[in-house]
């Protein structure tokens, strides 16, 4: 029964869960240790004592403040408040150190830089990006993102988390890795050792990644779906759902360790803080404000489009001037990190005003009290005053988002917590910095920075509205506007709709925002799409990756192109029984991944296909017969031009057969053609491809329309397609690159 096979899947998912559970927590643990090393410097300043993983983890929390380092802290605290420029230098020193570490990991494994979401998107699209799902990449990415977040750069951990989740899943599904030296493959995992299953695991892992990053299981599934929908199936839906559920369950249990037998703490469920309803039975916004939300969405789409355009130009510039040398990339990271540090110090200094902490907090919720505790007393009296701009720049991004979302607006002017000017002084430079940082050689997510920028923008928008009409009730509170701003800016950059709606709903825990969020995100998507593509698509296109869009490119559609017009016509083919020398030379001379096998006996009819990896394996394992095996009795070995040995051999097979298992077992590390050593006499031997050929490849007629070809490629996730004519003769071959709009 199928249950047996499913059981394997469940087992895997259990492992999977564990690792997903471990992956974020190891990430957070290492961040925590990084913090602890420097607890002297950080907790003393009072602005980095929440651990970097955004999880208000009580153990870490309690261990943070009251260690033996307290006297060091004291010393440093004095140091800090007394010696002018010194804290800046200290800060700069540690940031640089951390950034260097992050850059080091990217130096070791270059594909671990950047956001990770484009990589996963390509992988799910069916593109074999080299080294993207390997254990080494995973380690480098997890360590790298830990350091880059710890360094206080405007980067998020979500993209890398999605990538890590995917890699964890892939590594587990393969049941082994080269990294540990030993072959840990279990026999029962062999079912999963093919591209298709591995892709499913990666999709599930990505969902689990979002589930653990935002506590958003359904949003994670939807993100996997929206970004990698080409091979979606019902089965995959609930597998991903299951993974995400287990991940969230693990997180929930871990976070509620202390209150396992009592009521669970709601605050720990929602990673961006719960939005509570303000009036008892009425919602936080009024019906006509939906129009305002749409307006915010449009503005956010505009901001996102600007961001994307800026980022595109920067990336092009980087590709020209920096990316070719690893040294330059590291230097760039250093320079930009210093810029970031300087800006986050100079801005609060420029602001230079101290605001008093709210004193009357009787009826405030725990969440709000905690936020107050996190305000940064930059050059002000700690415990009494805070610097508004510093609180935004120097807090961790998660905390800053929560402050913008949930900080109560006391007083009558309605903008007392963070004044409009402070928001402005934060929004513009921060967005610019985020744009510059995105793309440097550290692992860097985009979700959190754009949420933060958007929150500032939204709150600013709210303030302006409140200027129009003081009385609360006319307009929703600024927190609601901050949420909409977040959605708008993130949606304007990434152009996702349904998944972002659900992620934000799950992260803020208030269902009444479903309609406003949907409208904002839709508006942002439309506005943004009027100008350019989403940031991830821009990245993919700049890298010239043959990514297949869900729909046929319009140019192709308009010109009524048929398959015969886009195919490559000079097809390199093989015969069913072929000379080893010819095969070897072919593999050496061209880099194609697949070769049609044509039946020369019947004027080039398609017999099947052979993949490069299979041919290499066959050559390496010497699965070929000696010339005399064939010529037994016929004696015309020299006239192999026109003679068809397949016919001469008939049903007889050419000696040392390689088991199909043997070929599959080495997945995905097939030998390269350069690894193959031919002995002197080998070139004249015969390679019988008939037992190994894929005899029923997908084919398409040369008169088929481009739409049909595209659909076949896209829905089946093909790598190549043989083009045949009416009599099944191979007339061409189409791969992904032939289907791209440019060609």
Ligand X SMILES: Nc1ncnc2c1ncn2[C@@H]1O[C@H](COP(=O)(O)OP(=O)(O)OP(=O)(O)O)[C@@H](O)[C@H]1O
**Binding-residue pattern over the window 530 to 569 for ligand X, x denoting contact by CB under 6 A:** --------------------------------------x-
582 touches ligand X (CB under 6 A): no
Shortest distance, CB of residue 153 to ligand X, whole angstroms?
Answer: 34
Report the partner that residue 705 touches, choosing among its own copies, ligand X, none (CB closer than 5 to 8 A by kind).
Answer: its own copies
Footprint of ligand X on residues 685-724 (CB under 6 A)?
719-720
Distance CA 524, CA 507 (A): 20
Report the partner that residue 610 touches, choosing among its own copies, ligand X, none (CB closer than 5 to 8 A by kind).
Answer: none
Shortest distance, CB of residue 128 to its own copies, whole angstroms?
Answer: 20
Binder among 241, 424, 667, 670 for its own copies (CB under 8 A): 241
Instruction: Give me the long-range contacts of 667-672 (CB less than 8 A, separation at least 24).
Output: 667/193, 667/194, 668/174, 669/178, 670/612, 670/613, 670/614, 670/616, 670/617, 671/616, 671/617, 671/620, 672/616
Asked if residue 668 has a cis previous peptide bond (ω within 30° of 0), the answer is yes
Q: Which stretch binds its own copies (CB under 8 A): 15-23, 58-66, 91-99, 725-733?
A: 725-733
280 touches its own copies (CB under 8 A): yes
Binder among 52, 148, 450, 594 for ligand X (CB under 6 A): 594
Shortest distance, CB of residue 608 to ligand X, whole angstroms?
Answer: 13
Nearer to its own copies, 88 or 241 (CB): 241
737 touches ligand X (CB under 6 A): yes
Nearer to ligand X, 223 or 583 (CB): 583
270 touches its own copies (CB under 8 A): yes
518 touches its own copies (CB under 8 A): yes
Shortest distance, CB of residue 662 to ligand X, whole angstroms?
Answer: 22
Nearer to its own copies, 473 or 681 (CB): 473
Shortest distance, CB of residue 51 to ligand X, whole angstroms?
Answer: 43
Cα end-to-end span (Å), the chain: 47
735 touches ligand X (CB under 6 A): yes
Binder among 18, 77, 658, 704 for its own copies (CB under 8 A): 704
605 touches its own copies (CB under 8 A): yes
Distance CA 253, CA 246 (A): 10
Shortest distance, CB of residue 604 to its own copies, whole angstroms?
Answer: 11
What's phi and psi for 609, nearest 5 deg? -135, 155
Shortest distance, CB of residue 574 to ligand X, whole angstroms?
Answer: 9
**Run of H or E residues at 111:** none
Report the partner that residue 217 touches, choosing among its own copies, ligand X, none (CB closer than 5 to 8 A by kind).
Answer: its own copies
192 touches its own copies (CB under 8 A): no
Which token pair is 311? Answer: 């980022």
DSSP designation for 548: P
Shortest distance, CB of residue 483 to its own copies, whole angstroms?
Answer: 14
242 touches its own copies (CB under 8 A): yes
CA distances from 557 to 552, 560, 590, 707, 733 (A): 7, 6, 31, 7, 20
Which token pair is 612? Answer: 């490069």
**Binding-residue pattern over the window 510 to 529 for ligand X, x denoting contact by CB under 6 A:** --------------------
Beta strands in 30-151 (DSSP E): none
Binder among 498, 582, 643, 673 for its own copies (CB under 8 A): 498
Binder among 104, 269, 306, 354 for its own copies (CB under 8 A): 269
221 touches its own copies (CB under 8 A): yes
Shortest distance, CB of residue 157 to ligand X, whole angstroms?
Answer: 31
Distance CA 718, CA 737 (A): 12
58 touches its own copies (CB under 8 A): no
DSSP designation for 700: E
Distance CA 678, CA 675 (A): 10
Nearer to ligand X, 79 or 572 (CB): 572
Binder among 571, 657, 704, 712 for ligand X (CB under 6 A): 571
660 touches its own copies (CB under 8 A): no
DSSP designation for 436: H
Nearer to ligand X, 199 or 318 (CB): 199
Distance CA 66, CA 79 (A): 19
Give SS3 for 687: strand
Shortest distance, CB of residue 593 to ligand X, whole angstroms?
Answer: 3
Contact 224, 203 (CB under 8 A): yes
β-bridge pairing 686-688 and 577-579: antiparallel
Binder among 168, 733, 739, 740 for ligand X (CB under 6 A): 733
Footprint of its own copies on residues 283-312 (CB under 8 A)?
283-288, 290
Beta strands in 300-393 (DSSP E): 355-356, 385-386
Nearer to its own copies, 318 or 495 (CB): 495
Binder among 130, 262, 280, 591 for ligand X (CB under 6 A): 591
Distance CA 485, CA 644 (A): 71
599 touches its own copies (CB under 8 A): yes
Q: Which stretch binds ligand X (CB under 6 A): 364-372, 557-565, 586-594, 636-644?
A: 586-594
CA distances from 320 to 315, 329, 379, 431, 543 (A): 9, 12, 43, 24, 12
Q: Which stretch binds ligand X (CB under 6 A): 301-309, 442-450, 527-535, 727-735?
A: 727-735
Q: Collect all residues with Cβ–Cβ distance below 8 Å to 335 and sequence separation of at least 6.
A: none
Short-list 231, 237, 247, 159, CA closest to 196: 231
Tokens 């394996």 label which residue? 617
Q: Is 438 left (phi over 0), alpha (psi -120 to 50) or beta?
A: beta
What's phi and psi for 675, nearest 5 deg? -80, -15
What's phi and psi for 732, nearest 5 deg? -175, 175
Distance CA 436, CA 414 (A): 33
Report the partner that residue 96 touches, choosing among ligand X, its own copies, none (CB closer than 5 to 8 A by kind).
Answer: none
Q: For residue 716, how many other CB atoms are within 10 A of its CB?
A: 12
Q: Which stretch binds ligand X (CB under 6 A): 38-46, 111-119, 353-361, 591-599?
A: 591-599
Give SS3 for 727: coil
408 touches its own copies (CB under 8 A): no
- Three-class SS string for 573-629? CECCEEEHHHHHHHHHHCCCCEEEEEEHHHCCEEEEEEEHHHHHHHHHCCCCECHHH
Q: Which stretch binds its own copies (CB under 8 A): 72-80, 243-251, 342-350, 401-409?
A: 243-251
362 touches its own copies (CB under 8 A): no
659 touches its own copies (CB under 8 A): no
Distance CA 461, CA 404 (A): 12
Contact 168, 16 (CB under 8 A): yes
383 touches ligand X (CB under 6 A): no
Question: Which residues make up the interface to ligand X (CB under 6 A)?
Answer: 568, 570-572, 591-595, 719-720, 733-738
């Amino acid at each position: 029964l199928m249950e047996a096979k499913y059981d394997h899947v469940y087992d895997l998912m259990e492992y999977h869960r564990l690792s997903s559970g471990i992956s974020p927590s190891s990430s957070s643990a290492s961040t925590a240790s990084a913090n602890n090393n420097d607890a002297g410097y950080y907790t003393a300043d009072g602005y980095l004592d929440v651990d970097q993983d955004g999880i208000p983890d009580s153990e870490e929390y309690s261990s943070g403040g009251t260690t033996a380092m307290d006297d060091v802290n004291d010393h440093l605290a004095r140091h800090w408040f007394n010696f002018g420029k010194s804290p800046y230098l200290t800060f700069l020193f540690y940031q640089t150190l951390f950034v260097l570490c992050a850059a080091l990991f990217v130096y070791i494994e270059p594909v671990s830089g950047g956001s990770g979401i484009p990589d996963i998107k390509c992988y799910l699209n069916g593109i074999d990006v080299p080294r993207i799902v390997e254990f080494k990449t995973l380690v480098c990415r997890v360590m790298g993102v830990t350091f880059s977040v710890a360094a206080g750069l405007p980067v998020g951990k979500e993209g890398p988390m999605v990538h890590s989740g995917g890699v964890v899943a892939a590594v587990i599904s393969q049941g082994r890795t080269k990294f540990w030296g030993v072959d840990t493959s279990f026999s029962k995992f062999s079912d999963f050792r093919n591209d298709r299953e591995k892709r499913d695991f990666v999709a599930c892992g990505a969902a689990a990644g979002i589930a653990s990053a935002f506590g958003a299981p359904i949003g994670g599934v939807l993100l996997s779906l929206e970004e990698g929908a080409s091979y979606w199936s019902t089965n995959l839906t609930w597998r991903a759902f299951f993974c995400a559920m287990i991940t969230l369950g693990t997180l929930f249990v871990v976070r509620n360790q202390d209150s396992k037998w009592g009521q669970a703490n709601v605050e720990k469920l929602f990673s961006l803080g719960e939005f509570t309803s303000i009036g008892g039975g009425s919602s936080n916004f009024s019906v006509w404000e939906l129009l305002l939300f749409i307006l915010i969405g449009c503005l956010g789409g505009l901001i996102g489009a600007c961001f994307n355009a800026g980022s595109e130009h920067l990336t092009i510039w980087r590709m020209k001037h920096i990316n070719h040398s690893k040294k330059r990339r590291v230097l760039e990271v250093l320079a930009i990190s210093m810029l970031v540090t300087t800006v986050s110090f100079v801005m609060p200094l420029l602001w230079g005003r101290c605001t008093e902490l709210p004193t009357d907090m009787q009826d405030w919720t725990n969440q709000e009290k905690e936020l107050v505790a996190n305000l940064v007393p930059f050059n002000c009296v700690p415990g009494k005053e805070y610097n508004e701009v510093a609180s935004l720049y120097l807090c961790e991004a998660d905390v800053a988002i929560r402050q913008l979302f949930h900080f109560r607006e006391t007083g009558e002017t309605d903008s007392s917590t963070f004044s409009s000017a402070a928001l402005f002084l934060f929004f513009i430079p921060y967005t610019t910095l985020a744009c510059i940082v995105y793309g440097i050689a550290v692992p860097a997510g985009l979700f959190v920075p754009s949420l933060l920028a958007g929150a500032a923008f939204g709150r600013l928008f709210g303030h302006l509205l409140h200027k129009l009409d003081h009385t609360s009730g006319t307009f929703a509170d600024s927190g609601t506007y901050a949420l909409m701003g977040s959605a708008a800016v993130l949606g304007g950059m990434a152009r996702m709709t349904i998944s972002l709606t659900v992620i934000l709903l799950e992260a803020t825990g208030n269902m009444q925002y479903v309609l406003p969020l949907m409208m904002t995100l839709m508006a942002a998507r439309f506005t943004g799409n009027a100008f350019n593509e989403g940031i991830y698509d821009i990245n993919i296109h700049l890298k010239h990756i043959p990514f297949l869009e869900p729909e046929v490119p319009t140019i192709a559609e308009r010109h009524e192109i048929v398959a015969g017009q886009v195919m490559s016509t000079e097809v390199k083919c093989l015969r069913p029984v072929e000379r080893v020398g010819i095969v070897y030379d072919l593999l050496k001379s061209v880099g194609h991944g697949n070769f049609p096998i044509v039946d020369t006996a019947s004027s080039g009819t398609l017999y099947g296909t052979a993949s490069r990896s299979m041919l290499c394996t066959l050559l390496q394992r010497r699965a070929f017969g000696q010339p005399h095996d064939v010529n037994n009795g016929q004696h015309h070995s020299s006239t192999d031009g026109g003679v068809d040995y397949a016919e001469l051999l008939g049903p007889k097979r050419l000696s040392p057969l390689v088991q199909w298992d043997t070929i599959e077992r080495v997945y995905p590390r097939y030998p390269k053609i350069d690894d193959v050593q031919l002995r002197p006499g080998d070139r004249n031997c015969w390679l019988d491809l008939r037992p190994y050929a894929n005899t029923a490849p997908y084919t398409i007629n040369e008169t088929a329309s481009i739409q049909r070809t595209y659909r076949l490629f896209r829905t089946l996730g093909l790598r190549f397609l043989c083009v045949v004519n009416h009599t099944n003769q191979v007339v061409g071959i189409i791969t992904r690159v032939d289907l791209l709009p440019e060609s």
